A and B are shown apart, each in its own frame.
Chain A
């Protein structure tokens, strides 16, 4: 960020305010671009992964090589599809809900460190900022479900509210474990810590529990199977976005993949070494100027590994029932998360003190 601001003030000689705005605009613009490209790729990847798990090929024809142009074609089609607002719907809420859903998730990315210095803002309470801002998505989903004036949508929205709010607890608690180790909420600090001391996941055995709890809770947070109750296709048709069509629907589709990216980025940053390489055999963060961007590539590879596991689970496991989801969150995940945090604390006091 500072590099960008320096570039605008120093090289181009602009005023500080203008430089700051331009720098943010550039950063957010490139983030949006990255997310769009990522989402296209992730949707294509999801279809390919699903297909190969199901002994099919998936998209093969559109665009030539293994259907690479499938997602752009889908996007183009959705863009030019009729946008229906049901007659009984609350038009304002119906119209604004996809934007809120998308913005909530998108805002989380400003605190994610993609590589050394490639971070829009390194907020002091970065971890909790992301958890908090990503929860705005729930409001959008409830708005979407309620304003559609469809019973299936309403069911989906209520399920989403119950589920996501419940799973905030174990996921936030599980994240306390790495925070205890690092002693900071700043996401940038996690990377520097892990570059020095190795990945947090290897710091103590309780961290594996924390990772597992966070991974499961984050699946629920992204509405991924086996927790895809809000859209449960075989029960609620399409859940909260039953009545959405065209471009607005595509926002919900994108949101799912973008929130997958977000939680995977958190998983990678907090547990799996961020943009550092295993055992830090190449110190990515301290390479010469353009090469430190290699960290972005390292992080993205890790993120996709996590996303692949998410997809793998989705196409293998059946869906849970709503009461089972609640039971799992409160009766199993939350105690285990607390156990992991306590264990981590005891471990570190014992080992270091």
Chain B
């Protein structure tokens, strides 16, 4: 997609294709089976019967980074793990999204002061789309994060050149989420 990304003029036809592709992307966000710590259990709860993330089409956890669209980083990333998280992110195919789940991943959490080897937020390592705070976040919070991500994906321009307003809106949205 690299060549076409944001190169075409912003007209009705390109807009329609953008909408369709955006719909496809946002309706099938396959997360990666990737658990680090406590938050992974709540992430599993989101996939399980009570919360059932599959309702939004995001319920096929893929074990390999190549086939997944979303990496939920659930749990403290330390120095030893950060290298691996980075590599996993690099192995994912575009478009790829990152949800930082939990206080540790958002900014160090309880380990921010005395943690000599914890990374104070996974956004130091890989770019993050959505931050879901909490220790651990309730499953509802993670679901909300994924719904927010769906909104964000749906608004992405795949082919059309982003005009000024679009860029600003996205920037604003990024700042909020």
Residue of A at shortest CB range from B25? A77
Interface: B55 (CB within 8 A): yes
Q: Collect the chain A residues with CB atoms within 8 Å of residue B52's CB.
A: 51, 56-58
Of residues 25 through 70 on chain A, the ones whose CB sits less than 8 Å from some CB of chain B are 47, 51, 54-63, 67, 69-70
CA distance A245 to B94 in the complex (A): 10
Separation of A339 and B1 alpha carbons in the complex (Å): 56
Are A58 and B21 interface neighbours, CB within 8 A?
no
With A59-B55, A77-B69 as known contacts, state yes or no: A242 contacts B64, CB within 8 Å. yes
> Which partner residue on chain A sits nearest B56 by CB separation?
A61
The answer, yes or no, to whether A160 is at the interface (CB within 8 Å) is no
Which residue in A62, A80, A83, A241 is a CB contact (below 8 Å) of B57? Answer: A62
Interface size counted on chain A using CB atoms at 8 A: 37
Q: Name the B residues within 8 Å of A237 (CB-CB).
A: 63-64
Find the B residue at minimum CB distance from A74.
B28
> B66, A70: Cβ atoms under 8 Å?
no
CA distance A59 to B28 in the complex (A): 10
With CB as the reference atom, state the residue of chain A lying closest to B61.
A233
CB-based contact B59/A238 at 8 Å: no
Main secondary structure of the interface of B (DSSP, over half): loop
- Does B110 interact with chain A (Cβ within 8 Å)? no
Whether B49 sits at the interface, judged by CB under 8 Å, is yes
A67-B57 contact given A80-B1, A237-B63, A238-B63, CB 8 Å threshold: yes
Docked Cα-Cα span, A77 to B20, in Å, equals: 10
Tell me if A309 is interfacial: C-beta within 8 Å of chain B: no
Chain A CB within 8 A of B155 CB: no
A214 at the interface (CB under 8 A from B): no
* Complex: A249 Cα to B27 Cα, angstroms: 18
Contacts A/B (CB < 8 Å), 19 sampled: A56-B54, A57-B52, A57-B54, A58-B52, A61-B27, A62-B57, A63-B27, A69-B27, A73-B28, A74-B24, A74-B27, A75-B24, A76-B21, A76-B23, A77-B24, A77-B27, A81-B95, A244-B66, A244-B67
Q: Which residues of A contact B (CB under 8 A)?
A: 47, 51, 54-63, 67, 69-70, 72-77, 79-84, 233, 237-238, 241-246, 249
